[in-house]
Amino acid sequence: MLTSLLAISALSMSVSLQEAAPAAAEAAATAPGPVLQLDQPEERHPTLVERSAGEYAAYHGVISDLHSAPIASGEDLDDAMNRLTAFYGEERLVRAWIAYAAIIAARHPEYLDEVRELADYYGPEAAMTGLMYDPTYATSFAASEDAQTSVVEAIAADNAEIREVSERYRAAAYDLQSERWANRSHGDRTNRLAELSIMGSAPIDMTDEVLMTLSNGLGEGLPASALFDHLDAAPLSDRTSVAPQLTLTVGEAIPDPDRDRIGRILSVAALQSLNNDDPARTDQVVEALLSDPVVERCLTWVRLDLQQCVAAGHFMYEDSFCIAEHALMDVSRCLGSSAN
């Protein structure tokens, strides 16, 4: 009797275990597994140089768009003028231009290694002081020649791009004289001049696309003008590049790279590579080097000349000439010359 009861009990337990097994397996499959807790990397914010360089990339995005932007109405001309002059306020374009060129210079590790060796021997503060108070010192390193060449070539390519767009709007100024809308009198130019007077004070909208283009394109040390699709068809080596006129003399412009300005650009690149315990001090020095009073003064005259051109114009087609001569060609001269 006892044996029978034990057998029945064992059989019942076996059946219960068999019925519970699928349920247990299903519960195990749906139950959340252990989650590995990892420290999330801190979000990296762009440096002062990267933010400014991003504005320069955004500026050449506008230049790229104006290669094919419509010129079929007064609104089209106003839009082109507004998009360009948004970058010409205060020192915005100058800082952006120097920062972008500095990132190109920083693509030469041999140069940066020489600067680091100096900083390791004399200390980062000594190296920082030398780079700040004598920007031409940055050009004295043996490995700086390639970095200088890259910067000069990038400036030349970017200025050539601006001049191409200038020629398009100059030609349009003649072609538009046969268009009825372009032959209408401007009338009161007060509103147009008021808009131009405040352009350049609003923040530049640097989209993710622009910042990504900046990051990807500079991996190859390309000038800003080469970062956009319309130039992709031709290798950089095949493009027409005019040497920048970095020094002007009375009567004749002589291609002679401005050693002080190139030195300032190389100094910004070098300072970004130094290891020190006072990043705020580095930012302070970089902030000072991103300024170029000569070019800033030149761009101030660009804005004034553009406003005077617009004020003096009587017909819509004349705005196209103002864009070509002042909003584009004069800017090219400022960014490529020591226009005293």
CA 116 to chain centre: 26
Element (H, E) at 99: helix 92-105
Residue 91 has pLDDT above 80, yes or no: yes
CA 94 to chain centre: 11
Dump the DSSP string for 268-290. Answer: HHHHHH---S-HHHHHHHHHHHT
Q: How high is the pLDDT of residue 44?
A: 58
> What confidence tens digit (pLDDT) does each residue in 46-88 have?
788 888 898 999 899 999 999 999 999 999 999 999 999 989 8
Q: Whole-number mean pLDDT of the chain?
A: 78
| Contact assessment for residue 287 and residue 48, using Cβ atoms and an 8 Å cutoff | yes
Per the domain annotation, does 300 fall within a domain?
yes
> What confidence tens digit (pLDDT) does each residue in 110-154 have?
999 999 999 899 888 888 888 888 878 899 999 999 999 999 999
Interatomic CA distance for residues 61 and 66, integer angstroms: 9
Per the domain annotation, does 82 fall within a domain?
yes
Per the domain annotation, does 18 fall within a domain?
no
Query: CA 29 → CA 8, 21, 150, distances in Å?
Result: 32, 12, 59
Structurally, the chain folds into a number of domains equal to: 1
Per the domain annotation, does 109 fall within a domain?
yes
Domain span at residue 147 reads 47-336
Q: How high is the pLDDT of residue 163?
A: 96
Dump the DSSP string for 215-249. Answer: HHHGGGT--GGGSSGGGTTS-GGGS--PPP--SB-
> What confidence tens digit (pLDDT) does each residue in 248-295 have?
333 344 434 478 889 999 999 999 888 767 778 888 889 999 988 888
pTM: 0.75
Find, among 2, 175, 97, 29, the residue nearest to 336 by Cα.
Answer: 97
Per the domain annotation, does 24 fall within a domain?
no
Radius of gyration of the chain from its Cα atoms, rounded to whole angstroms: 31
Per the domain annotation, does 19 fall within a domain?
no
